[in-house]
Amino acid sequence: MFTKLSLAELSGLLQRRDTSAREVTQAFLDRIQHLDGKVGSYLTVDPEKSLAQADAAQALLDAGGSQPLTGVPIAIKDNISTDGMRTTCASKVLEDYVPPYDATVVSKLQQAGVVNLGKTNLDEFAMGTSCENSALGVTRNPWDLDRSPGGSSGGSAACVAGELAPASLGSDTGGSIRLPASFCGIVGFKPTYGRVSRYGLVAFGSSLDQIGPMTRTVEDAALLAEAISGHDPLDSTSLPEPPISAREVKSGTLKGLRLAVPREMLEGEVEPGVREVFEQVCQTARAEGATVEEVSIPAIKFGVTTYYIIAPAEASSNLGRYDGIRYGSRLDGNGHVGMVAKTRGELFGHEVKARIMIGTYALSAGYYDAYYLRAQKVRALMAQEFESKFAEYDLVLSPVSPVVAFRLGELNDPLALKLLDVCTIPANMGGFPAISLNGGFSSGLPVGVQLMGPVLSDERLLQAAYALEQALPAAAFRAPQFA
């Protein structure tokens, strides 16, 4: 029965001593052992370690030194460094890499007494939209085991939807928290860039990457965001603001809220079922007293292009570190360069190599101005257009993805997959906080809606999302029957 509960509910039981941290953790470990074979959300589970952490958390609870999340277990995306537990990025290059240090978010969770349930699958180095680029395993969507859970944080989404964890951490560079949250019918929150430390998050696109919570409820997202956020001197892009506060999350209302719906996010290939759910969500918001108006933000249509220049450019530089010498896998080749090139050429997967190639090309002599510099200007233009809308409206409302979860293997055109990011990319470009929650169902599959706010509006955004969640019957977490 513990596996049915949210973080807030589990926390209540633990604080009242109605159960123990070990009992809760054991319940999830049992379910993982029993059922994760069907879903494939985890790459690494270490029951002994998790239970030892649970006992340490219990000691904190018993000593009265507990925090709101002490004793609850969560899963962690496998591109977030965990001291002593392998961190693979779902890549053959890091298949047996065991970090000698914790990411800041992991240290923060440990200090708060949160138990690490295990590490979840992802597209290799978080590059993908379906989780199918993992070199280490297949993850399936608990709503339909023949379908993708979305990506790149596919394992982190699937384990929450499948009740194999009460919550998880994901990372989001162009939508990698929000899209899988949408496909799996859960809540996914990408905070303002810089509010959560990136120290120990394996770098993909450093100016875009952000860690965030994936949960069953908006309240849980706020609680987990509070636990992992705050200034970190180890990340020079970390903002000086205090942690995201969860205290007022339930005080939000849709009454009087001004919501802008960018028409550019509804153009093109939006599935009729997604459109239908989105229109119902708009009606619900209006019925609750919000104003919902269509606006135009023309730069949205350049988002995918801009993203697929900037993110690969940053990735090609960030992934330069995998040379086989200091850590990670190594293959012998002809001389020094031959060894490095063979290691990288043979062990990186196709999509990772494709992005390194795109990024290297975009940054190479003669093309830098035409592509990378130009993309940065379009990024500025896009951020300005959104900021001017945020002067007139409180938040932006849109679908998360133009489609529902597709069948595994169904979408193999790399460009078609990239176009799915059109609604999620702008938040990464501008650093805006954005949250995905379930708006309804289309043919039995979840359809997410996204709220996005200006930089540092995280608390306000969570309050509005909470109010919308309360008004939408479909937003209440329900677990699919996959067993």
Partner 1 sequence: MGLSYNHPMPITYDEVQHVAKLARLELTEDELRAFQDELNALLGHFQDIVDLDVEGIEPKPHAVVRTNVWSEDVPRLGLTREQAISLSKKSRAGLFVVPTIIEE
Active site residues: 77, 152, 176
Please say whether the beta carbons of 215 and 198 come within 8 A: no
**Sign of dihedral through CA atoms 198, 203, 206, 210?**
negative
Cβ closest to partner 1, residue 367 vs residue 482:
367
Tokens of 432: 């805006």
Cβ closest to partner 1, residue 367 vs residue 441:
367
For 60, residues 6+ apart whose C-beta sits below 8 A from its C-beta are 66, 70, 71, 113
Instruction: Spell out, one character per residue from 205 to 244, where the chain touches partner 1: x when CB under 8 A holds, - when not.
Output: --xx------------------------x--xx-x-----
Instruction: Spell out, one character per residue from 303 to 322, where the chain touches partner 1: x when CB under 8 A holds, - when not.
Output: -xxx-xx------x---x--
Site for partner 1 in 81-140 (CB under 8 A): 97-98, 100-101
How many residues belong to the chain?
Answer: 483
The CB-of-328 to partner 1 minimum distance in angstroms stands at 8
Cβ closest to partner 1, residue 161 vs residue 299:
299
Report the chain's terminal Cα–Cα distance, integer Å: 15
Site for partner 1 in 422-461 (CB under 8 A): 428-431, 455
C-alpha triplet 246, 250, 251: angle, nearest 5°? 110
Site for partner 1 in 180-199 (CB under 8 A): 192-194
Q: Does 37 bind partner 1 (CB under 8 A)?
A: no
Specify whether the backbone of 56 is left (phi greater than 0), alpha (psi in -120 to 50) or beta.
alpha
Query: Which of these segments, 53-61, 85-93, 155-163, 371-379, binds partner 1 (CB under 8 A)?
Result: 371-379
Q: Which of 248, 287, 321, 373 binds partner 1 (CB under 8 A)?
A: 373
Q: Which of 287, 380, 476, 483 binds partner 1 (CB under 8 A)?
A: 380
Q: Does 342 bind partner 1 (CB under 8 A)?
A: yes
Instruction: Spell out, one character per residue from 398 to 417, where the chain touches partner 1: x when CB under 8 A holds, - when not.
Output: ----------------xx--
Please give the full DSSP string across 446-471, using - where no structure is assigned: EEEEEEE--TT-HHHHHHHHHHHHHH
Q: Does 482 bind partner 1 (CB under 8 A)?
A: no
Q: Which of 179, 378, 434, 452 binds partner 1 (CB under 8 A)?
A: 378
Please give the full DSSP string across 329-384, using - where no structure is assigned: -----SHHHHHHHHHHHHHS-HHHHHHHHHHHHHHSTTTTIIIIIHHHHHHHHHHH
Q: Does 375 bind partner 1 (CB under 8 A)?
A: yes
